[in-house]
């Protein structure tokens, strides 16, 4: 069996040992000729996959080690009998960690309490549901909006978008859908912004084009938005510098980049490939994950609960470092910025999920909130 795989899928070479002949390349360096004589493709979101790559190919199985699939022409794959798999849900815990870190950082820096604040979560699937759980644990009022889930389940916990508009925070966790009744392209638009609560905070960790850059800038300039946390950008890897300058927290599309999420994604696509070709090999995440550097944390007594938790979180993941790293792009020549952005993602340092912290010692006033910030590992 011949396999074409993106070299930046973590541990991919080790995972593919003994499974056949593997060609390992950076996704952006692949050409249609690389796809000609292969049986399986394991890619990432940096590489589009469709007719151009597959027209002259013998591929039987294709996959992406990512949650989003808007870079894949799934209609083409289906019409040509090519099996497909993604890593849906692989980074949900990592993104929930990121949103938790951003909320605590905002609350500490701006000097407010999260308890009693409202957050509207647009998209309540793998990621949104976990973000909701964390936010409830932090004492926030959570409103969920997810029209597809509402239609499928009839559950009234999924509320109309009108109820989201009045929230203190609005956090997007949707796929990018370009048309149709559930279109999310430029969901955050000028019209949307005109109806939100003045001074609201936008958090976008979904897809860059879910929020219209010009609408976000206008909302920030007018005060309709007080702050924005932006991890995903229109036009990646050529990101809009004006929005970078105005965002409270700006990061290079790494919310879901905890090492657990990356290894989980690798495991999902490799095992899906093995299942498709009826191979007995299965990958186990435990064989690839290093021991965490931080397994015990002690919460102090001085300062607000949010600031104390923010300091604790920084011991595992310091979101300000990612923000500072991305802002360095402004000192880079414009022609080199896309490469710089890609490099930040490609060479991202090892980051652990908060659930790897095994022991948290906290005073009584912070004990309950700690359980939301540092949850037990999911089984």
In a domain? residue 34: yes
Does the pLDDT value for residue 68 go beyond 90? no
Give pLDDT, residue 10. 93
Rounded Cα distance between 119 and 143, Å, is 6
Residue 295 lies in a domain: no
**Both structure tokens of 177:** 């859908």
CB atoms within 10 A of CB 365: 11
Domain residues for 175?
Answer: 92-256+300-373
CATH number of the structural domain spanning residue 50 = 3.40.50.720
The whole-chain average pLDDT of the chain stands at: 97
Same domain, 28 and 119: no
Contacts of residue 182, Cβ cutoff 8 Å, sequence gap at least 6: 147, 148
Residues 125 and 34 in one domain: no
Average pLDDT score over residue span 339-355: 96
Q: Quick one: pLDDT at residue 46?
A: 85
Are 82 and 112 within one domain? Answer: no
Residues 272 and 147 in one domain: no
Whether 80 is catalytic: no
Average confidence (pLDDT) over 157-167: 98
Instruction: Tell whether 24 and 100 lie within a shared domain.
Output: no
CA dihedral 207, 212, 218, 219 (to 10 degrees): -50
* φ/ψ of residue 205, rounded to 5: -120, 15
Residues 223 and 322 in one domain: yes
Domain assignment present for residue 378? The answer is no
Residue carrying structure tokens 């009998």 = 81
Could you tell me which residues come within 8 angstroms of residue 99 by beta carbon, excluding any fewer than 6 positions away?
131, 134, 135, 171, 203, 205, 229, 255
Q: Is residue 292 part of a domain?
A: no
Q: 237 and 281 in one domain? A: no
303: left (phi over 0), alpha (psi -120 to 50) or beta: left
Domain count within the chain: 2
Give yes or no: 236 in active site: yes
**If DSSP codes are grouped into helix, strand and coil, which group holds residue 193?**
helix
Residue 116: its pLDDT value, please?
Answer: 98
pLDDT at 379 over 80: no
In a domain, 110, yes or no: yes
Give per-residue pLDDT as tens, 72-83.
999 999 999 999
pLDDT above 80 (res 339): yes
Q: For residue 294, is it within any domain? A: no
Q: Which of 207, 224, 257, 337 is an active site residue?
A: 207
Alpha-helical runs (H) found in the chain? 12-16, 51-54, 74-79, 92-110, 126-137, 147-153, 161-164, 190-195, 213-222, 241-246, 259-276, 305-314, 319-327, 337-346, 364-373
214 is catalytic: no
pLDDT of residue 204: 99
Q: Which pLDDT tens digit goes with each residue over 354-367?
A: 999 999 999 999 99
Q: Of the listed 53, 234, 236, 353, which one is catalytic? A: 236
Average pLDDT over residues 205-221: 98
Question: pLDDT digit string (tens) for 250-305?
Answer: 999 999 999 999 999 999 999 999 999 999 999 999 999 999 999 999 999 999 99
Tens digits of residue pLDDT in 36-46:
999 999 999 88
What percentage of the chain carries pLDDT values higher than 70?
Answer: 100
Distances (CA, A) of 253 to 60, 231, 344: 30, 5, 9
Residue 134 lies in a domain: yes
- What mean pLDDT is predicted for residues 329-338? 98
Residue 124 lies inside a defined structural domain of this protein: yes
Phi-psi region of 199 (alpha: psi -120 to 50; beta: other; left: phi over 0): left
Return the percentage of the chain with pLDDT > 90, whole number: 97
- Mean of pLDDT values over 191-216: 98
**Residues 221 and 314 occupy one common structural domain:** yes
Is 278 in the same domain as 224?
Answer: no
Residues 129 and 56 in one domain: no
Q: Quick one: pLDDT at residue 342? A: 93
Same domain, 77 and 122: no
**Statement to judge: residues 273 and 319 lie in one domain:** no
With a CB cutoff of 8 Å and minimum separation 6, the contacts of 24 are 5, 6, 7, 12, 13
Q: What is the pLDDT of residues 5-55, one digit of tens each?
A: 999 999 999 999 999 999 999 998 999 999 999 999 999 988 999 999 999
In sequence order, what are the residues at sequence separation of 6 or more whose Cβ sits closer than 8 angstroms to the Cβ of residue 113?
A: 107, 304, 305, 306
Contact 326, 251 (CB under 8 A): yes
Q: What is the pLDDT of residue 70?
A: 86
């Amino acid at each position: 069996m011949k396999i074409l795989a993106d070299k930046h899928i973590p541990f991919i070479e080790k995972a593919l040992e003994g499974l056949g002949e593997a060609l390992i390349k950076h996704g952006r360096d692949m050409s249609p000729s690389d796809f000609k004589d292969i049986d399986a493709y394991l890619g990432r979101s940096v590489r589009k996959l469709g007719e151009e790559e597959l027209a002259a190919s013998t591929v039987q199985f294709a996959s992406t080690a990512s949650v989003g699939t808007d870079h894949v022409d799934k209609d083409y794959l289906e019409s040509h009998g090519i099996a497909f798999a993604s890593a849906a849900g692989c980074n949900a815990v990592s993104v929930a960690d990121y949103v938790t870190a951003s909320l605590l950082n905002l609350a500490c820096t701006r000097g407010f309490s999260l308890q009693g604040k409202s957050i509207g979560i647009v998209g309540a699937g793998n990621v949104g549901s976990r973000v909701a759980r964390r936010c409830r644990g932090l004492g926030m009022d959570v409103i969920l909006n997810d029209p597809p889930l509402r239609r499928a389940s009839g559950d009234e916990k999924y509320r109309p978008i009108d109820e989201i508009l009045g929230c203190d925070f609005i956090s997007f966790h949707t796929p990018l859908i370009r048309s149709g009744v559930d279109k999310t392209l430029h969901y955050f638009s000028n019209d949307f912004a005109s109806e939100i609560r003045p001074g609201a905070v936008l958090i976008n960790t979904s897809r860059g084009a879910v929020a219209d850059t010009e609408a976000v800038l206008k909302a920030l300039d007018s005060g309709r938005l007080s702050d924005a946390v932006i991890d995903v950008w229109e036009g990646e890897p050529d990101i809009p510098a004006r929005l970078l300058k105005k965002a409270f927290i700006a990061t290079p599309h790494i919310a879901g980049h905890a090492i657990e999420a990356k290894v989980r994604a690798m495991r999902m696509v490799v095992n899906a490939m093995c299942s498709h070709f009826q191979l007995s090999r299965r990958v186990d995440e435990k064989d690839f994950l290093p021991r965490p550097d931080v397994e015990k944390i002690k919460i102090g007594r001085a300062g607000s609960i949010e600031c104390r938790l923010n300091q604790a979180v920084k011991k595992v993941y310091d979101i300000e470092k990612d923000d500072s790293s991305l802002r360095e792009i402004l000192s880079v020549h414009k022609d080199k910025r896309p490469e710089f952005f890609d490099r930040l993602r490609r060479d991202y340092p090892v980051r652990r999920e908060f659930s790897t912290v095994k022991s948290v010692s906290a005073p009584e006033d912070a004990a309950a909130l700690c359980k939301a910030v540092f949850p037990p590992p999911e089984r």
